[in-house]
Chains A and B, each alone.
Chain A
Amino acid sequence: MIRETAYHEIFDSQRHFRTLLDAMARPGKIDRFAPVAITPPPPLTNAAACTALALLDSDSTFDAASLGPDAIRYVQVNTGARAVPIAEADFVFLDGGDVASAERIAAARAGIPTYPETGATIVLQVSRMSRSSGAGGLELTLSGPGIETTTHVVINGLQARNLESLARRNREFPLGVDAIVTADDGGIICLPRTTRVSWATV
């Protein structure tokens, strides 16, 4: 298992956090992590790994069971976070193209009414995202805090079932889960629990 050495704990994590901060504050805005030479084991993508390196440490827990033992080991070794069953995890890493992820989203922690921030963060891996093009993908229409009116984004490699599951998990605000959607090409968008999402196939 490779221990990442090119990743700068102070400055890379700060830059990547700022990318996440901007994306979380402006749902649907496609942001991109500044490149860094890391080599996460497939199917864990670069952008999902950057998210893990920026946010996880030994104070946090995660579940990446659906991405296989190499991904789990990678996150453990490089962040010190503890792998736990999905219902206890602060962060859940999932494949957006896998319909089985829908059940996992339903099983993720949604927080409690007095402390809703204990709801999980879902890191959802997809293949591609763009503002318009992308045949065979889903066109998402988003509205809510962080979005002036509505915004659109086209995502490839994302099953509609997973979006449905996400919407169902976020029906009882303030309870819910917040999604960080990461693409193979390094793009990210965030879908916090406040974002209303509708979609159509393109």
Chain B
Amino acid sequence: MIATRKFEHTYNFAFIDERTKREIRRKILKAIAIPGYQVPYSSPEMPIARGWGTGGLHASLSIIGPDDVFKIIDQGSDASVNACNLRDFVRRMTSCRTTFDTAEATLIQTRHRKPEEILTERQIIVFQVPQPEPLRSVERYEFKTRIMHAEADYAKMWVALYESYVKFGAIMNGAGYPVRVNGRYIMTPSPIPRWDVPNLSMAPCLHVFSAGREKRLHCVPPFTRVEPLEFEDVKFRVEEFREIVCAASGGDRAFMDEIYESESTRKFVINDSDFLDKVRLGQRPPQRLFQNPV
């Protein structure tokens, strides 16, 4: 007979053991020192499936302390079921306070968005990254992409962008638009929409990007240049929501979700759930908006 005691288990603060946290911390510091470069890290298994935010959790749980206020969003929303599950996990493992209020959070984990509201110097944002290698679409082998990054040899990437332009009249990369960080490394900003890409550049907050399954993490420090790849005559553009207002708040100038209530009725709602709440209350927070070139 097995005593049930055998299966009892207590967990460390923030779940991950201290030795692994320390390793991840060392790697985060190096990632800050080499902006946009992908640092390999151990990436221990988590009780969350690979591809569901394990990398984000590694970074968040290595950073978090008892005084932090934690916010987590998925597709811009605090309400997304996976965000709910991860929030519950972080709360159980740290007893930290959690919030939906972007301004109140000290540590924000996100999948596929950077909040509309400008993040400040006292905030750290952790992005869940499915595929950290921006060159994967042009070179499938890691040992080759490593060399390309080392030599800043991005010719294949430029050719791919040019081909996209020739075929479609524009660079067709949607979310995860490739960027150059501090004039050196080409990096994927995780699949955030182009709308959010300009907000990575010269921002007051620290950005940590972590890909658990691929075991790589990279950073964009505060006040660091992040430039979307573009040609002199084919400029980077964000998604356009021309003449569109939010059906829930009447607000505009924000990334919108396209919602179908039936086959024929389409409406738009502001994607960032906390931003939407604030717009509805008439407390629209400060934003940094990008103007598409004419």
Contacts and interface: CB of A to CB of B under 8 A. Distances in A.
Interface stretch (A35-43, A54-62, A63-71, A128-136): A54-62
B275 interface: no
Interface in B111-155: 121, 124, 146-147, 149-151
A117 B37 contact: yes
B28 interface: yes
B25 A17 contact: yes
Interface on chain B toward A: helix, strand, loop, or mixed SS? Answer: mixed
B222 A121 contact: no
B81 interface: no
Nearest to B124: A21
Contacts of A113: 147, 150-151
A11 B12 CA distance: 11
B32 interface: yes
Interface in A133-152: 144-148
Interface on chain A toward B: helix, strand, loop, or mixed SS? Answer: loop
Contacts of A10: 12-13, 18
Interface residues of B, number: 43
Contacts of A168: none
A14 interface: yes
Interface string B210-233: 000000000101111100000000
Nearest to A56: B22
Given A11-B66, A114-B146, A25 B26 contact: no
Contacts of B146: 114-115
A55 B221 contact: no
Interface of A: 9-11, 13-15, 17-18, 20-21, 24-26, 54-60, 90, 113-117, 119, 121, 144-148, 173-174, 176, 178, 192-194
20 contacts: A9-B18, A10-B13, A11-B66, A14-B65, A17-B63, A18-B65, A21-B25, A21-B63, A26-B221, A54-B22, A55-B25, A57-B22, A90-B26, A113-B147, A145-B35, A145-B224, A147-B223, A173-B184, A174-B150, A192-B32
